[in-house]
Amino acid sequence: MRNPIAVTGETALDLIRQVRGILALFGNTLWWIVVGPFKGKTAGRQSIFQQMVFAGVQSVVIVFFISLFTGIVIAMQSAYQLKQLGAVIYVAPMVSISMARELGPVFVALVVAGRVGSAIAAELGTMKVSEQIEALETIALDPVRFLVVPRFLALLIMMPCLTVMADMVGILGGLIVGVFNLQINMYRYLSFSFDLMEFKDVWTGLIKSVVFGTAISMIACYVGLDTRGGAEGVGKATTMSVVISFIMIILIDCVLTGVFFFSEM
Amino acid sequence: MEERETVIEVTDLVKKFGDRTVLNGVNLKISKGETFVIMGGSGCGKSTLLRHIIGNLKPTSGKVCLLGTDITGLEGAQLDEIRKKIGMSFQSSALFDSMTVGENVSLPLREHTVLEKNIIDIMVTMKLELVGLRGFEDLMPSEISGGMKKRVGLARAIAMDPQIIFYDEPTAGLDPIMAAVIDRLIVDLSRKLSITSVVVTHDMKSVMGIADRIAMLHEGKVLEVGTPEEIRNSANQTVRQFINGSFDGPISFFQQKDDYLEQLTG
């Protein structure tokens, strides 16, 4: 049996090393985005575009179904409660506001972390263990500029887009329940959906999605580039990136919700 | 031999990973245009030495001069300037699997030069021609064999017309014929393009065939440096054992009976 204090200490040190590594990578990425262009060294437009297609366009179907069903479930669950108060029409803002503030950004982030973050970690991890990262450095190409920046920018751009889509599809899901099950007039449903929604509900959600996108890309890239030990290492890195991303998404969501909606109280 | 310009100079290079000393005071001088082979058993620090020479690892102490520049303390852009003048062929080829063969070879040209696309295409064809792979531009690395990957890696290494090419185990894991093909390529490239080649290997057949000079690395130190003839006639028992591939000699994987007994019984 190893000394539990030593194990705790080692784990803590490792955690500190990783957090510092992720922050350093983030700083390095921002440097390439802000200072890089002045030195004539930008990330390739083509590779940013490729990543945007992979992270964004190819996530559309799964985001569509997840938000549609989420919208339906929320409508059904809240209808049950609101019926007892005789306020079934409030299903509409219930769905739209909770999608925009919370469920849209968070579910999109979870989908992207599981689908895109894991793929990034696996790809970069494989590149690391098969000497491809070293090969890049040897031909004088910085892996951060060449690999991390396009992935970071792609997620930064696509996350809010996916979130807007998720919000709208979620409202559509609620609308299906409202119109076909609760017999609410469609125009009445829609006007209630949007009239009670504030602009703040939407922009706070979008800011969240941008922060989530940053966290997912930085965690996945860092874990990928930090991979050691062959195929097993790549597997571990992939799992790690998903686990850390999920925890961070919920944690960040908690903090940001506090900042946006509870800081004035 | 006439005195030639030194392109690589390694001085008292020491590298420690934790408590383990991998390189323990390595000294080397490699002159322009020669094919220099670094040989030694598995785990003797050959690849580590190579990674120090190309600046991918930083030494614990000592220094490395590459093309007249001390690269020991260099980082980022300054190191990249030197790296554009060298090429490296990796043990595992290290081709980028998301790119085609042609894109792999053209990547350094696309990133570091301002040449027109059609000129780059011609250069890629030329480099692939040199390694006998013209016409394979559009295949993915996953669609070609290990030997072909090695050759594509070589074509990528020479894309920028480097002054020095480094080879990490160029013939490891290849069949004898393919190994001979690669050996011939290494010799051809150094003659045709008069580049300095540094080859790390433990393939004795290939060593004797291609080397101008050989350095034997053992336990983190250079044991002997000389021409293939000198190494073949070496008086050093360790070197003799290595080139003959014999079981008995100073390098032993088994302990003496008494030591073993003592270790077992404590």
Domain that holds residue A130: 45-258
pLDDT at B201: 87
* Closest approach of A36 to chain B, Cα-based (Å): 12
Among B98, B110, B113, B200, which would you mutate to test the A interface (most chain A Cβ atoms within 10 Å of its Cβ)?
B98
Does A16 fall in a domain? no
pLDDT at B255: 62
Does A38 fall in a domain? no
In B, which residues are within 8 Å of A142 by CB distance? 76, 80
Distance CA A212, CA A160 (A): 10
A76: buried, middle or exposed (CB in 10 Å: 19+, 13-18, 0-12)? middle
* Closest approach of B78 to chain A, Cα-based (Å): 10
Please report, for chain B, the start and end positions of each structural domain, with discontinuous segments joined by +: 1-32+40-81+198-266
SS3 B92: coil
In B, which residues are within 8 Å of A135 by CB distance? 88, 90, 94-96
B123: which 2 tokens?
Answer: 């250069």
Taking only the tens place, the pLDDT of each residue in B126-148 is: 989 888 888 888 999 999 988 88
SS3 A185: coil
In A, which residues are within 8 Å of B79 by CB distance? 140
Range 78-137 of A in CB contact (< 8 A) with B: 123, 126-127, 130-132, 134-137
A5: buried, middle or exposed (CB in 10 Å: 19+, 13-18, 0-12)? exposed
Give me chain B's average pLDDT, please. 85
Average pLDDT over residues A234-241: 94
B155: buried, middle or exposed (CB in 10 Å: 19+, 13-18, 0-12)? buried
Could you tell me what percent of chain B has a pLDDT over 70? 95
Q: Check: CB of residue A206 under 8 Å from CB of residue A163.
A: yes
Q: How many CB atoms lie within 10 A of CB A67?
A: 27
Q: How far is Cα of residue B99 from the mean position of the Cα atoms in its chain?
A: 24
Does A150 fall in a domain? yes
Give me chain A's average pLDDT, please. 92
Distance CA A57, CA B210 (A): 52
E strand or H helix that includes residue A134? helix A132-138
pLDDT at position A265 over 70:
no
Does A184 fall in a domain? yes
Taking only the tens place, the pLDDT of each residue in A89-143 is: 999 999 999 999 999 999 999 999 999 999 999 999 999 998 899 999 998 888 9
Average pLDDT over residues A48-69: 94
For tokens 């219930």, the residue is A94
Does A17 fall in a domain? no
Answer yes or no: do A141 and B111 touch at CB < 8 A. Answer: yes
* Closest approach of B152 to chain A, Cα-based (Å): 13
Q: How many CB atoms lie within 10 A of CB B26?
A: 26
CATH architecture for the domain at B1-32+40-81+198-266: 3-Layer(aba) Sandwich (3.40)
Distance CA B166, CA B89 (A): 6
- Candidates A178, A177, A180, A176; CA nearest to A188 is A178
E strand or H helix that includes residue B6? strand B6-17
Distance CA B160, CA B106 (A): 9
CA distances (Å), origin B237, targets A27, A86, A159, B158, B222: 54, 97, 65, 38, 14
Answer yes or no: do B56 and A140 touch at CB < 8 A. Answer: no
Does A15 fall in a domain? no
Q: Identity (one letter) of the amino acid at B262?
A: E
Does A247 fall in a domain? yes
Answer yes or no: do B96 and A132 touch at CB < 8 A. Answer: yes
Q: What ipTM, to 2 d.p.?
A: 0.83
Residue of A nearest to B96 (CA): A132
CA distances (Å), origin A107, targets A96, A208, B205: 14, 11, 60
Answer yes or no: do A140 and B112 touch at CB < 8 A. Answer: yes
What is the per-residue DSSP string for A55-103?
HTGGGHHHHHHHHHHHHHHHHHHHHHHHHHHT-GGGHHHHHHHHIIIII
Give the total number of structural domains in chain A.
Answer: 1
E strand or H helix that includes residue B61? strand B61-66
A6 in contact with chain B, both atoms CB, cutoff 8 A: no
Answer yes or no: do A132 and B111 touch at CB < 8 A. Answer: no
